[in-house]
Amino acid sequence: MLGRNTADSETDLSQWKGNIHIPRYSSQRLSWLFLSVLLSISACTEAPPENSQQTRSADTLRVVTLISPTTYYQTDYGPSGFEYELAMDFSKSIGLKLEIQAAKTINDLFKLLDSGQADIAAASLTGTAQRQEHYKFSPPYLETAEVVLYKSGSRRPRNIEGLRDKSILVRKRTSHAQTLSRLKKEHPWLSWTETNEAETFEILGMLDEELIDFTVMDSHDYEINKAYFPQLTIAFRLNEPQPLVWMQLKDGNKTLEKKVDIFFDEIRKNGRLEELTERHFGHTTHIDRIGAFTFARNVERKFPEYEELIKQVAKEENIDWRLLAAISYQESHWNPTATSPTGVRGMMMLTQATAREMGVENRIDARQSLSGGTRYYHKIKRRIPSRIKDPDRSWFALAAYNVGMGHMEDARVLTQRQGGNPDKWLDVMQRLPLLQKPEVYSKLRHGYARGNEPVVYVQRIRHYYNVLAWEEKIKNTKPPPTQLARFVPEKLTKVNRLHAL
The DSSP secondary-structure symbol of 16 reads G
> Which amino acid is residue 236, in one-letter code?
F
501 near 60, Cβ under 8 Å? Answer: no
Amino acid at 83: E
Alpha helices in 94-213, H assignment, sequence order: 106-114, 129-132, 175-184, 200-208
Choice among 85, 99, 275, 331 that is catalytic: 331
Q: How far apart are CA 468 and CA 427, in angstroms?
A: 27
Beta bridge partners of 129: none
Please report the DSSP string for 373-408 in residue order.
HHHHHHHHHHHS-TTSPTTHHHHHHHHHHHH-HHHH
Q: Is 157 helix (H, G, I), strand (E, B) or coil?
A: coil
Please report the DSSP string for 227-254 in residue order.
Answer: GG-TTEEEEEESSS-EEEEEEEETTS-H
Cα(109)–Cα(112) distance, rounded to whole angstroms? 5
CB-based contact 303:475 (threshold 8 Å): no
Query: Rounded to whole angstroms, how far apart are CA atoms 366 and 306?
Result: 9
User: What single letter denotes the amino acid at residue 367?
Assistant: R
Cα separation, 223 vs 149, whole angstroms: 12
Q: Is 274 a catalytic residue?
A: no
Pick left, alpha or beta for residue 478 (phi over 0 → left; psi -120 to 50 → alpha; otherwise beta).
beta
Pairing of strands 146-151, 142-144: unpaired
Query: Which amino acid, residue 151?
Result: K
Closest residue by Cα to residue 462 from 311, 217, 274, 295? 295
Concatenating the DSSP letter of every residue in 281-326 gives HGGGGG--HHHHHHHHHHHHHTHHHHHHHHHHHHHHHTS-HHHHHH
Angle between helices 392-403 and 321-332 (to 10 degrees): 30
Q: Which residue numbers are catalytic?
A: 331
